[in-house]
Amino acid sequence: MKKALTLIFLEDGYRETEIIQNTFLRVEDMIILGHAHSELKLVRMLKEFLPDFLLLKSEMISYEFLLKLYPLINNSDVKIFVSSPNYKEEEKIKDLFKKLKFNTPFYFLQIRPSDNVEILAEKFSVAIKNLLKTSPVRVKEKAEAAPGHEKAEKLIIIGSSAGGPRILKNILLQMPDRVPASIVLVQHIPSTFSQTLVESLSHRTQLNMKEAEEGDVLYNNIIYVAKGDYHLEIVRRGQNKCLHLHKGPKVWSVRPAIDVTMISAAKVFKNKIIAVILTGIGNDGTEGVKVIKKAGGTVIAQDQATSLIYGMPKSAVESGCVDFVLPYYKISDVSVNLVKEK
């Protein structure tokens, strides 16, 4: 199974931006996740979602600039392209990376003003292959219920928006390899990136993970990620608790909406739910936690100090239905312990 590779690039010139966008239309399996026109915008983007590749121009790189990137991408899976019209900059860039003890792999490309998009596409394709050789992309096979997997009687449901993917990676990294529940993730994300999110997050957990599909039966030890541009509901079909995807009207201007999933889950799992609201803009999830709390479930909200945007968690807390307000690094342990007690 091929992985859709993602790219964020920093470029402040219109013509150069257009050339980069046209170039990567010709690079197989590469999707431009975003374009930052300033250092500040780049930092904000990297706080929200880590791409597979980051493209920087050599003249934009300084010690101070790398110092800002260091806590965001060092020891992550991000790989860096550094472009320059000549190779004289390469040693300077290497020295800066070495000085900061950067462990992030990078590839230096000589990009001439005369290079057209076909030449650039070939150069980047070669660079990608070289970087992937030094840091292989691991892709899990589609998650299936292995022999012995039990149908879920309990559920952990996590809702997140802006800043969510980074927090989810840390939460999943701390999850044990067995959880006596299904885990459902609802992240506000464009439709084209939900499978990419699955592939990115699956590196961080020993649990099986898959993008939600119509009719999926919920099993313990499997993480189901809501599909972009589809609402995700949990329904009962005979003896099974299943997933139902549909394109109903957007809720809070988003689809999937966390409220839709949580409200449907409460009808099926009743008090056997741990609901978690993470960083994000707006109020999505608040109505859902009200219904879950009324059904006897337990609700966790991320605290303000560790939230990129304290909108959704704040709204949930103000509803009076939150049992625990926690920093992201405590959410995994607490939610798993709580679900064991259900």
Active site members:
161, 188, 284
DSSP-derived pairing of the beta strands 231-237 and 240-246: antiparallel
For residue 337, the one-letter residue type is N
- Phi, psi of 322, rounded to the nearest 5 degrees: -95, 130
For residue 272, the one-letter residue type is K
Burial of 247 from C-beta contacts in 10 A (0-12 / 13-18 / 19+) = exposed
Q: How are the residues of the chain apportioned to helix, strand and coil, as percentages rounded to the nearest 5?
A: 40, 25, 40
Cα–Cα distance, 152 to 217 (Å, whole number) = 9
Are 56 and 102 in contact, with CB atoms under 8 Å apart? no
| Residue 336: its H or E element | helix 328-341
CA Rg value for the chain: 21
- Phi, psi of 254, rounded to the nearest 5 degrees: -135, 155
